[in-house]
Homo-oligomer: A and B are copies of this chain.
Amino acid sequence: MARLFTFPLLALWTCLSMSTALTPDQIANGNRNMTVGYILYPGFTILDVFGPLQFLNDLSYTFPITLSLIATSLSPVTSRPPNHHLPDGSTMDMSHAFDLHLLPTHTFTTAPPLDILIVPGGAGDLSLIEHADRSIESFIASRFNSTSYILSVCSGAGFLARAGVLDGRRATATKSVWAGIVKYGPKTEWVASARWVRDGDGKVWTSSGVTAGMDMMVAFLREVYGEEKVNGVVNGAEYVPHTDSRWDPFSVLFKVPGADMNMSLTETVGPLPSFPEE
Partner-B contacts on A (CB < 8 A): 1-3, 5, 7, 9-10, 45-47, 49-51, 53-54, 56-57, 60-61, 64, 67, 69, 76, 79, 96-103, 123, 174-177, 208-212, 235-240, 242, 249-250, 252-255, 265-271, 274
Contacts and interface: CB of A to CB of B under 8 A. Distances in A.
Contacts of A269: 266-269
A116 to B, nearest CB: 13
Given A5-B255, A46-B54, 15 more contacts: A7-B253, A46-B53, A50-B50, A57-B97, A60-B98, A67-B100, A100-B102, A175-B238, A176-B235, A176-B236, A210-B236, A235-B250, A240-B242, A240-B249, A267-B269
A265 B254 contact: no
A240 B103 CA distance: 30
Contacts of A237: 47, 209-211
A176 B3 contact: yes
29 contacts: A2-B176, A3-B254, A5-B255, A7-B253, A10-B265, A45-B54, A46-B57, A50-B51, A53-B100, A54-B210, A57-B97, A69-B100, A175-B238, A176-B238, A209-B237, A209-B238, A210-B237, A210-B238, A210-B239, A211-B239, A212-B238, A238-B250, A240-B249, A265-B271, A266-B268, A266-B269, A267-B268, A267-B270, A269-B269
A50 B46 contact: yes
B253 A271 contact: yes
Contacts of A212: 238
Contacts of A49: 50
Contacts of A57: 46, 79, 97-98, 100
A253 B234 CA distance: 12
Contacts of A210: 54, 236-239
Nearest to A270: B266
Nearest to A235: B253
A54 B47 contact: yes
Contacts of A69: 100
A235 B210 CA distance: 10
Contacts of A3: 176, 254
A103 B79 contact: no
Nearest to A123: B1
- Among A61, A176, A208, residue most surrounded by chain B Cβ atoms (within 10 Å): A176
